[in-house]
A and B are shown apart, each in its own frame.
Chain A
Amino acid sequence: MSDDEAGNSSPVRARSESPAGTAEQQREKAGRKRPRVADPDEDDDMGDDTANGSGAGNGKGRADDEDGEGDDDEEEEDDEEDDEEDDEEGGDGGKRKAKKRKRRPKKFRFLDVEAEVDDEDDEDEEADDFADVAEFIEEAPEEASGRDDVAHRRLDRSRGEAQMESVEETVARLKQRYGRGQAAKYDPDSDQVPQRLLMPGNGDPNLFQVRVKAGEEQNLITKIFRKVFSNQNSANPFEIYSAFYRNSLPGMLFVEARGAAPVLAVLTGLVGVFLSTPPKLVPIEEMAPLLKIKKKDENIQPGMWVRMKRGKYAGDLAQVIDVDQITNGVAGLKFIPRIDLTPREKRSRDKGSNGKALGGNVRPPSRLFAYEDVRKIYGRGAIRQTATSTYVWDGDEYVDGFCLKDLKLNLISAEGVKPTLEEVSRFTGDEGETSRIDLSAIADANRDIGASGLFPGDKVEVYEGEQSGLYGPVVTVTIDVIAIKAMNGDVRGQIIEVPSRSVRKRFELGEHVKVLNGPNRDASGMVVDVKGDVVTLMSDQGEQEIKAFSKDVRKAADIAGGSQAKGAFDLHDMVMLDSATAAVVIKVEGAMLRIMDQNGAVRVVTPHEVTARRDNKNFAVAQDSNGNDMKVGDAMKEVGGENRSGEVLNIFRSIFVFLFSREILDNFGVFVARAQLLISVTPKAAANDLSKLNPMLQSQLPYGGASLMAPPTTMPNKNRLINTPVVIVKGTQKGLMGIIKDVQGEKARVEMASNNKVLTIDLTSLKRKDTRTGTTYPLDSAAAGSFGAPRPGGGNYDINPYGQMAPPNGGATPAPNYGGRTPGGAARFGQTPNPYAAGAGGFGGGKTPNPYAAGAGGRTPAPGWGAGGGKTPGWAGAGGKTPAPGAGGYGGGGGKTPAPNYGGDGGRTPAWAGAGGGGGKTPNPYALGSGSGAGGRTPAPGGSMYQDPGTSRYGNGGLSAPTPYTAPPTQAAVAAQTPATTQYSAPTPYGAPTPYAAPTPYSAPTPGVGLTAPTPGAGAGPSHNGAPTPYGAPTPYNAPSTSNQPAAPQASDLPWDWALDFRNVRVEVGPSTKAGTRNPLHFQRGALDRQIFGYADIAEGESPHCILLSDPTVTADIPAEYLRPVQPTAPGQAIIVINGPDGIKGQQRTTEYLNEDQWMMVPDQSVGEVVPMIVGGGDLCRIWQS
């Protein structure tokens, strides 16, 4: 093929004689000669195309119109092309030709064609072929004078005309020579032939693909055009033939040229062209398809669904009802109208105010036409009724509520219309009433199952056509035809090919299926009904039915995981709404989760609104109303309320239990209950309860069932920091105070005191703030609360595994102090590596032999013993539940003390400690034969008992049970024999309200006994044993701890304005104790510091009127914040309790005995008090004038 053809077929002819500015212009000028031009935009922009059609005339139209002139056209074309060819050959032909054309006089226009050709040829190599004609032409305009000349000319012309034939022959020859003949034969009526004939070949310019910025294609093309045209007359024009882009290929330009160099040349300097990727050569066979126009096959048929493209109804579904005028490009549609029921006046008013309707952008909701409604708004006159339920309003016809309207085809789209079940149902029935769904309509809409939805193995049935009724599994799938293996009919067993349009998937009742598409995507369930194309399934997830098109459903594995991981959350997963609110997923609705929180509230959230909770299903336990543990998966029942029962899904904080029951319809069967309001439906705990099966343990039951105690659950007090007042010591919030609301790892959520916001702050940036004193402590537990600074010690007990439970107080108590007095006690216990021996033994030793202790224990409320017990490893908890172990172990103690009472103590009392330790210390001859030894021997049996590593903790019970501790040797007398032990290790709680209820404890023969009780050694006792100390226990027992730490904690416990509550007491002046006071630290700059005053009345404000004891003439009104109580210093002083629980505070007594800063008072006989009161010195104040 010649060069010319390629140039001719391109929309841009860089070197053509028609320098058009754009493709359109160019086409207009040159288009009539180029029926083969393919408009790159043609398939995408039809409107454009038609515009072109009139202006430039596409090949087809023109050919139709000018059929008769076909030959002429051909010739014209040929000539033109010859010109071009010549241009090519001549190199500068273009320029020349342009000039010549301009010169050409109009009157010769008729001859132009020939003349031009001749002219061109004349000047070219083949000039000889046209020599005669050329001569004629050249002569014609120039010689116009004289009749001869005219005659000659006429003659010549007639000759020339005679020679036309030969010219045509010449042309034909040229055509043949240059292969342009085929082009001349182009028949616009035929699609096939020219396509084939016009295929580019090797000799044609190449097409280069250039990457450009998407969206900039058109601009770039325009720029290229301009560039080319502006340069085409310059010295070095761009040697490209065409450039185009396709809307269907964003980010690409195509440039036709003979090599990459011209392409690069023309593209250089254009913004938006990615020259980093060099222009890519388009293979020849791909060139034509690039320019191919895909004909849209809009096959509109009545009944089919379409969507509207523009306007108010954009995106709305419509049904084709009428195609009579399809040739006019109009189809009759039926759709649900969107009638604006906003009053017209309002709209016009809006319009008046701003010139545009306010709600212009708001499109009215889609609803069926209702005569009454429209009439109300627009008036009766606006509507015309033509027939029953047929109205005409605003030029449109409404039938049965639907709007019937003829719309142009370009306003509707028939491709990719996938009506949903809901949309279709609105067409066929009232909203929500799915029962009236016209199945065939839906089937029509969704009939196109397509090959994509089918896989080999799927069971399908043929529902239309010859093979209707046939069913079987799919064997192969091609685009339009599938092969199925027939399972019924005459062709049973054979493989039949059927069109994929006429099959649908077949499902059996009861089949387990999964929904692949649609609103219920990913739902799975069992088929309960199949009607045509609609499959109804019973969802696995919740008790609900789901309808889906059969094409959207696939068979699922029979064995469903039940919980396919769908994204982050699955059904019945526990999620956290915030740190304090848990919820359970009750339904997964596509991307949304429907959840029920711990309060029973249901809401729908997106997955990112919640956080996953660590899976604790294996650990979460809670106690039901019977105190039995429940776990996830247990069947539980409500004891009250609705008596619902269900299976435990999850437990939150051991309080909120999420349950699930298939029987409950609300909330997909999920409900929340408090653990305390549940009871187990099937008591099955026994199966795994070792204690119930173990004969040894059971045999122990008579002793109180201690052995049934569940092993103590370790309670790592993760949340101990919660509600701690803190101050921030680092960062931008430094200095602000707040309260810890939650601890998450190394961070705490702190509610700021200042602005009521909750911030998340590193624990390392926080310090505990004592709100009273304003002093700060490190956040760690060592400094917990009022215990003040960490205390030293405890080192030698570190081997005790339970030592970790022991607050430092344990160590704080100087062990040697007590150990020295307790023969063998502290020291030994301290050393023993056996946790039980250490903790329990030590304790028990202190308690057991002492009848007083026992007695006291009997009445002592738990807190007292709690001190010991609380710390006693493991058994604390155990004891808490069962009183009796103590009884069994203690033997004597138990014997005397009513078990229940003891049980109370036992709550904290280390049951086994009692057993072992008690036995050990009791100088009880029965004690395992250990004989009489005092506490000194105690550990031995205890130790041996507990040191047996092979024995479980439960086992000990068994072992200890048989020991003859039941003998009641522990009596006061006995205890008296071991004064030391009892004296210092008795754990009698100081804070206990009635610790002295034991019969005449105080009158015990040995002072030791007496001391025991009041001794804060109770606290000390445990601590000196190194056993877990009481201080960690949340008991009033905290008080005694202060005794070890006289000043600081005392001060912190005592309100700064204590003095205002009392009269006639002695006070000492010192620095202010009021946190954040505005007064100076020292009253009168310390002039009166350390002086002792008394006061009887309180002056103005908060200033007691103080009188100096040493010099009564000196008086001063000293603000209460500077006053500290004067503590008793010796027995026999009259005191008043200024701090402590109600009932104790305000009591006046006389001191009798001091032990470790704990004062025992003389019992007040007047009120019948038999048990002396014991109060820490810090809580006492001497009375001024008694």
Chain B
Amino acid sequence: MRTDYDIIVVGAGPAGSMTAKHAARKGARVLMIEKRQEIGAPLRCAEGVNRRGLEKAGVPVDRRWVSTDISGAKLVSPGGHVFRIDESQAGNEVGMVLERHLFDKAMAADAARAGAEIWLKTAAVDVIKEGERVVGVKARREGEPLRLTAGCVVAADGFESQVARWAGIDTSLKAGDITTCFQYRMTNLRTEPDYCEFIIGSVAPGGYIWIFPKGDDTANVGIGVLASKLEKPGEVKRYLDDWIRKDERLSCGQPLEALAGGVSVSPPVERSVMDGLILVGDSARIIDPITGGGIANGLLAGMHAGNVLGDCAQAKDFSEEAMMPYDKLWRDAMEDRLWRNWMAKEKFLTLSDSTLDAVIETLSTANVDKMSVHNILIAIKERHPELVREFEELI
């Protein structure tokens, strides 16, 4: 059994698989380890993504992992005002809801075809450092401890983000930058089969309730609540159960699956590379702080990381300096947007239900033809400039 590689990717989510694929494609010896026994399961995702995000990362759409094509979105205020965005004319901005169980496996399969090795039931438990340089990971494979050495370790361990912290990069979050989530896949619903719905206000403090269609009368029905707004244990699930009981389109439904998870809604990490270590995906805190979406950003960061690491492997140089092009690539692609949306989130969570009602009511008369946070912020800027004053230069 080989235990030395150019690159060891910890975590076989979309960001890890993209990194592994692109690095292996350039000839690097890549091992991707996954602590679970199955890639893509258990699910921790509402599964929404837009076509543009996939396109930018060079991932062609494969119908086998698409659950449902989306025609538009509905933003619902506490008082029941609806801001409807119809996407029928919006081209590649149109969203879709994935089958992550299949999508994650397809991304990992691409990595394997490019030459990456994959080990399941293999958990990283610490990093190995020589001085300030990361030179590998301590792992457990089916319970057996082992040392794996590499030119570079890729922290693709998702929201947990432990690998980076073991190495000395602080990715810890304040409570106001964490959203705690709970979701059911429900069936026998009476919701719209091709609209994503977002319900905001005190029903989900600092977050929202979502309904993302999964074909016919089935949907992902979930909630995210900002951790700083939580008081009692188990509140998140109760908030969602309360809403489902009250919404008669949902109360007739039954659950097929339940899942939970944490989502960062923070600014991105200050440091994404160090000697022998690189951060990709959720572990780098690059989830969109307004939508909570992380798939597209993770794929794109993974693509850039893999390309840079492939070059580093050829040059046999995994120093921080050699990997800095990755830091620049992902920051150029998304950092301004992440900061803008973080500021928008900080403002959003101060708004009362009555203000949210007024905003959604006026927005419902706006003509926003593409479903994006940016377009919604432009419409808010026109009608409620006071709400975006602190960050209007970013809109």
Determine if chain A interacts with chain B: no
Q: A: which residues have CB within 8 A of B?
A: none
